[in-house]
Amino acid sequence: MSENIIEIKGASISINEIKVLENFNFEMKKGEFVYIIGETGSGKSTFLRCLYCSQKFLEGTAKVDNFNLNNINKPKIQELRRNLGIIFQDFKLLEDRNIHENLKFILKSIGWKNNNEIDERIRDTLMKVGLEEKAKKIPYELSGGEQQRASIARAIVNNPSLIIADEPTGNLDPKKSIEIVNLLKKININGSSVIIATHDYDIIKSQSGTIYECCNKKLKKIENLSQ
Ligand SMILES: Nc1ncnc2c1ncn2[C@@H]1O[C@H](COP(=O)(O)OP(=O)(O)OP(=O)(O)O)[C@@H](O)[C@H]1O
Ligand SMILES: [Mg+2]
């Protein structure tokens, strides 16, 4: 078993035959907290989408959580995604049901059957994100920050080995943004590796973590943040 949760070598990514990133390497250790930064349109979201096979790498080799993404088939993609927690900028909560039911949907889809166990896991998870009072609320009855925390709850309810978050603070004020990052840090300390795409330089400056930047079609580790 590898010590790296993500290992990418000599990879390129294209959309409609236009290269978004080319010939890059990327490594992330188990338990690491990684930021992906870069200008709008530089490829952050595209890169994250490749990690959960919603987009293909064109060249090179890629491994995520010991799954080889080169030639991965549909059942294996489903298996990989069961080990991931994905947080989207626009939340993607199911709007026709409450937060409890949103989380239950995830557990059912990965094979949980016992309702008592499901309820207990959902209670624990909502407690972790501070939404224990909001289980019965429909997403539109929650504020932006609460919806963001609900989307984090949905991502962590299956105890993922890797959390992939695209702009998790994109819609929040600075104070709420720090709260969300602190929450992700806590989840990271409890064992999940976390990778975040963000524009939020204030957060990166004030929080620890490894930083990679998408720039000029490259993805590079940066040691010192100049901005
Ligand atoms: N579905 C798509 N069809 C065509 N081009 C796309 C598609 N998705 C992304 N692109 C292009 O790929 C490039 C990278 O986009 P991406 O969304 O990964 O950037 P980003 O760094 O996440 O930007 P932002 O900070 O605005 O979220 C952009 O030039 C974008 O226009
Ligand atoms: Mg993006």
In the chain, where are the structural domains located? 91-144
Atom 13 in ligand 1: residue holding the nearest Cα: 41
Residue 2's pLDDT is: 67
Does ligand 1 have an atom closer than 6 angstroms to the CB of 42? yes
**Parts of the chain with a pLDDT under 50:** none
Of 48, 40, 65, the closest CA to residue 13 belongs to 48
Residue 202's pLDDT is: 82
Ligand 1 pocket, mutate which of 21, 24, 44 (most atoms under 8 A from CB): 44
Residue 179's pLDDT is: 87
The phi, psi pair for 175, rounded to 5°, reads -65, -45
Does ligand 1 have an atom closer than 6 angstroms to the CB of 54? no
Ligand 1 pocket, mutate which of 35, 36, 46 (most atoms under 8 A from CB): 46
Does ligand 1 have an atom closer than 6 angstroms to the CB of 16? yes
Residue 176's pLDDT is: 84
Atom 26 in ligand 1: residue holding the nearest Cα: 40
pLDDT digits (tens, 9 = 90+) for 50-97: 999 999 998 899 999 999 999 899 999 999 999 999 999 889 999 999
Distance CA 213, CA 143 (A): 31
| Ligand at shortest distance from the CA of 44 | 1
Of 86, 70, 73, 54, the closest CA to residue 11 belongs to 70
Taking the CA of residue 47 as reference, the ligand 1 atom at the shortest distance is 18
Does ligand 1 have an atom closer than 6 angstroms to the CB of 43? yes
Query: What is the CA(91)–ligand 2 centre distance, in A?
Result: 13
Taking the CA of residue 167 as reference, the ligand 1 atom at the shortest distance is 27
| Ligand at shortest distance from the CA of 42 | 1
Does ligand 1 have an atom closer than 6 angstroms to the CB of 15? yes
Does ligand 1 have an atom closer than 6 angstroms to the CB of 41? yes
Distance CA 197, CA 128 (A): 22
Q: What angle do the packed helices 115-128 and 99-109 form, to 10 degrees?
A: 120
